[in-house]
Chain A
């Protein structure tokens, strides 16, 4: 199973600030996905990146896949309280396993 390290684990910032969350691995991934999870609910897919160097934007969220496909980042511009949640990166487990390997997640709190 390939491992994904996320940082920071916890982040609390003021509304309007910018932030970046990182997802790193020593392994190459064919694709990486970012999810957002609210307490007591299942994760909701935000984006899938598949090409090294790829950048995708979703309103104030910018996702980047590293050139070597070993890392990814999520940048949020002008964070709002509604962005509060658990952000998870995930990729194919590899090694014959068919499911997803998840990072430990970043707990993000945006204070008004």
Chain B
């Protein structure tokens, strides 16, 4: 099956610093990648949709200047949390889709971010 990886798997940073999370589709070309956030004991919430070569589409309430998304190639999308604060601590999960909306999204293993 399709494999999606994320790096790093966990990161601890100081408040005010920026953190970059990578999402890679290992054995397929992902025309669309998605970024989700999951707080403890809660479900996944879609943050943004990223299409290769174009600007990301952010969900309501997600600050695009704080969560920078770059989808520079068909196998890589990055999420940069800028000027991180403790409330940004969460589990960030990406997913990738090879084709149109009827295609399956494959999820990465997630990145645990802890901001001190």
Chain A residues at the B interface, C-beta cutoff of 8 Å: 31, 35, 40-45, 48, 88, 90, 92-93, 97-105, 107
Task: Report, nearest first, the 4 A-B pairs whose CB atoms are least far apart.
Answer: A42-B107, A99-B46, A102-B43, A98-B49
- Chain B contact residues: over half helix, strand or loop, or mixed? strand
Q: With both chains docked as a complex, state the minimum distance between the C-beta of A29 and any C-beta of chain B, in angstroms.
A: 12
Q: Which of B46, B59, B108 contacts A42 (CB 8 A)?
A: B108
- Chain A contact residues: over half helix, strand or loop, or mixed? strand
Can you list 5 pairs linking A and B with CB atoms under 8 Å apart?
A42-B93, A42-B95, A45-B105, A100-B44, A104-B42
Q: How far is the CA of A48 from the CA of B108 in the complex (A)?
A: 18
Interface residues in B18-66 (C-beta closer than 8 Å to A)? 32, 34, 36, 41-46, 49, 57, 59
